[in-house]
Amino acid sequence: MSGTTQPLHHRTVALPGGLRVHTVEQGDPSGPAVVLVHGWPDSWFSWSRVLAPLAPRLHAVAYSQRGFGESDHPAGGYTLDRFAGDLLDLCDVLELERAHLVGHSFGSFVVRRVAEQHPDRVDRMVLIGSADRMGDVLVEEVRAAIADLPEQVPDDFAREFSAGTVYRPVAPEFFDALVAECRKAPGWVYRDSWEGLVRSDDRDRLRDVTAPTLVLWGDRDALFDRGQQDRLLAALPDARLRVYEDTGHCPNWERPEDVAADVNAFLLPA
């Protein structure tokens, strides 16, 4: 599958309530559906290196969450429950009664919330760069860093933050485009969405997840450590861990073909 390119279909989807989200679709529309949910403060583009090597049998949908990328930037609604509600609304509009869910970092907490509250809607789940909970030191460090961000996030801030999440070098053109996507979110969206994430603790709800879960983690992750992975695995009823060596917080950027291969094997078992 390496090196193949599948056609990407971009469109704007209106959700109930009027929120418009930018979505990208590829693969077989009648195949098993998989929805990919990006991290903070990214957009659908953070999946661009993973999409091509995904199996064409999959109906893959990546989208930019509210406040990010080319999706609407409403004044409110940046709680984890609302982000999860948006994901469910998107599945409803796309007529996806059940789907596989893949989430990276912040997106992993969003898909977990859907799997906890609506286990009947989730077939399998992949969590990339996730943790049992947000660490207190990380929460305060990021909160302080974004406290005074202006409406237009400075290029050097977005560049430095994104660079701090990777260990393996990524292609400069990909990184530049990623930084540009991160800057599409206003500074206040950074703050509101961060607070919406860190104020939520779902550890007591993880036992409600019925979907078999694959956890992907880089052993050089600067945000979440191995202990957080072990506690996450212990809390989930049916989960397994795949560790990428010499990889940071973003395996989907750093090892996209490996991530796609593991996702393919997990979602389409022989």
Handedness of CA 83, 89, 90, 96 (dihedral sign): positive
DSSP annotation of 161 reads H
From the centroid of its chain, how far is CA 121?
A: 18
In this predicted structure, what is the pLDDT of residue 269? 83
Amino acid identity, position 122: V
Average pLDDT over residues 181-189: 98
Rounded CA-CA distance 132/202 in Å is 8
Confidence of residue 4 (pLDDT cuts 50, 70, 90): low
Rounded CA-CA distance 164/33 in Å is 32
Average pLDDT over residues 196-203: 93
The 3-class secondary structure across 89-137, one letter per residue, is HHHHHCCCCCEEEEEECHHHHHHHHHHHHCHHHEEEEEEECCCCCCCHH
In this predicted structure, what is the pLDDT of residue 96? 98
Rounded CA-CA distance 7/134 in Å is 36
Q: Tokens for 14, please give them.
A: 């209106």
In this predicted structure, what is the pLDDT of residue 6? 86
pLDDT one-digit tens code per residue, 93-146? 999 999 999 999 999 999 999 999 999 999 999 999 999 999 999 999 999 999
Buried-exposed string 60-98: b where 16+ CB fall within 10 A, e elsewhere: bbbbbbbbbbbbbeeeebbbbebbbbbbbbbbeebebee
Residue 1 has pLDDT above 60, yes or no: no
Q: Which residue has the higher pLDDT, 234 or 6?
A: 234
| Mean confidence (pLDDT) of the chain | 96
Rounded CA-CA distance 114/112 in Å is 5
pLDDT one-digit tens code per residue, 202-235? 999 999 999 999 999 999 999 999 999 999 999 9
Residue 270 has pLDDT above 80, yes or no: no
Rounded CA-CA distance 149/146 in Å is 5
Residue 239 has pLDDT above 60, yes or no: yes
CATH top-level class for 9-267? alpha beta
CB 179 within 8 A of CB 159: yes
Q: How many CB atoms lie within 10 A of CB 103?
A: 26
Helix/strand/coil for 238: coil
pLDDT one-digit tens code per residue, 23-82? 999 999 999 999 999 999 999 999 999 999 999 999 999 999 999 999 999 999 999 999
Residue 2 has pLDDT above 70, yes or no: no
Confidence of residue 3 (pLDDT cuts 50, 70, 90): very low
Sketch the domain layout of the chain as residue ranges: 9-267
